[in-house]
Amino acid sequence: MITKRERALIIQDELAKAFPNPEVPLLHKDPYTLLIAVLLSAQCTDARVNLVTPALFEMADSPDEMAQLDPSVVREIIRPCGLSERKAASIVSLSRILVDQYQSRVPCDFKALESLPGVGHKTASVVMNQAFHIPAFPVDTHIFRLARRWKLSSANSVERVEKDLKKIFPEKDWGRLHLRMVLYGRTYCPARGCRPICSICARLQNVK
């Protein structure tokens, strides 16, 4: 019988083999463009976001430029991402807040980020982790599914799964693990099927 932590180490090793050098799949050049891209990715694929952001960032790739736009202009560009009216309003509003309150910079602070329009805990976690290298473990639908499928957590909420994963894995590895689990879920382990790691976990059913 193995412990949950031992199972986690096996999974972590397999993820590292599958994706040794994971990169953020969203096109961006700085914390601001990453923030906008992650906001757009809500209920939308990263691939589709990457088709939309070049035109958006050509028009405005800084808080100062975006703050000058009418939300209707932004809405037309980001329409393929879905929820375009709400997302456009959030993008313009948060840009104006960044200009007015943060010297046109994305704050390196969870509370400040989560107070911005359209920015939830997951979005803030991605920005803190990938833009500022502050330890965080954003949990999206892929990670939520895999954590439960691999018996790393039995929780029924994203918040609880995040807490469980943070207890299991070393803080220094959270950023890479987040990316690796997302990439693994998309590539090998979709909702209706599973591949290598699931087979390994099936052989490790008994967990203390």
Contact status, residue 75 vs residue 88, Cβ threshold 8 Å: yes
Residues 6+ apart with CB under 8 A from 48: 80, 81
Active-site residue numbers? 122, 140
- Residue showing tokens 């736009």: 69
Q: How many CB atoms lie within 10 A of CB 201?
A: 20
Contact status, residue 40 vs residue 87, Cβ threshold 8 Å: yes
Q: Where are the alpha helices (DSSP H) in the chain?
A: 4-18, 31-40, 46-59, 63-67, 71-78, 84-101, 110-114, 121-130, 141-149, 158-168, 174-187, 196-202
Contact status, residue 119 vs residue 159, Cβ threshold 8 Å: no
